[in-house]
Copies of this chain bind each other. A is one copy, B any other.
Amino acid sequence: MTDLARFSINQMTVKQLSLPELMDACGRSGVGQVGLWREPVQEYGLTETAKLIREAGLAVTTLCRGGFFTATDPEAHAAALADNRRAIEEAATLGTDTLVLVSGGLPPGTKDLRAARERIADALTELAPYAEAHGVRLAIEPLHPMYAADRCVVSTLAQALDLAERFPAHQVGVTVDTYHLWWDDRAPAQIARAGAAGRIHAFQLADWVTPLPEGVLTGRGQIGDGAIDMREWRDYVEAAGYTGPIEVELFNEELWARDGREVLAETVERFHSAFL
């Protein structure tokens, strides 16, 4: 289907590397694309990061992440919108056309998933035109259902598309991430639905390994180490017409404890041996 030209390393996979170290490691590994996160970019400096990226000749595939739209408190809701406008501006400054959105969980003390999902739609109505004006597409990421309470009430690709389809495809699409979708027998048909409408705005890989760690945030497995048939998902996305970048985004304490350059090289190797 592809070669290293479509590979992108998400910054979180090798978060032990500083931005200059990441640029350098990408150069040495022949990696031409990166997915960035707002926090380390802000820490290094937005303008400085954009300059570094330009000088290294890298492409930025996504910025992670906007979202967290589910607050019921009006002030918190307004603050979330303001923060997402800044995220859109940051994406534009970094030269990426895609901002990944993690929608947010249930506000403390509430139990209404449906209402929380509807507040996401309200926020997107405000933000989608602003994103378009900055040349940025929003990519709603369904997270695994185990995050529904505390992180993301959008748990399936079908739900993400139900939200996205209220907006033009060049404004709002979805992020397809194997880690979050692999268990779902409906996901293949939803990938086809997303692809037919040009709404696959990002494609990310991580493998499913058990046992899950406490808090279930940092247990994403290296490609090939877990339960997911990566080629099966490659084929779904390819059949849906997606020809964009393929980002590897791992949150994994064991990988973070190792030398970041070594992890990057291993990730490239796994991309070849387990995905291509």
Q: Which residues of A contact B (CB under 8 A)?
A: 106, 111-114, 144-146, 148-150, 155-156, 159, 182-185, 208, 210-216, 226-229, 232
Contacts and interface: CB of A to CB of B under 8 A. Distances in A.
A210 B149 contact: yes
Given A113-B185, A149-B227, A213-B214, 14 more contacts: A106-B227, A111-B227, A111-B228, A111-B232, A112-B229, A146-B146, A149-B210, A149-B226, A159-B185, A211-B216, A212-B212, A212-B214, A214-B214, A216-B216
Contacts of A156: 185
A220 B200 CA distance: 35
A145 B183 contact: yes
B155 A208 contact: no
B106 A150 contact: no
Contacts of A228: 111
A215 B212 CA distance: 5
23 contacts: A106-B227, A111-B227, A111-B228, A111-B229, A112-B229, A113-B183, A114-B185, A145-B146, A145-B183, A145-B184, A146-B146, A148-B182, A148-B183, A148-B227, A149-B226, A149-B227, A150-B210, A150-B211, A155-B184, A155-B185, A159-B185, A211-B214, A212-B216
Contacts of A213: 214
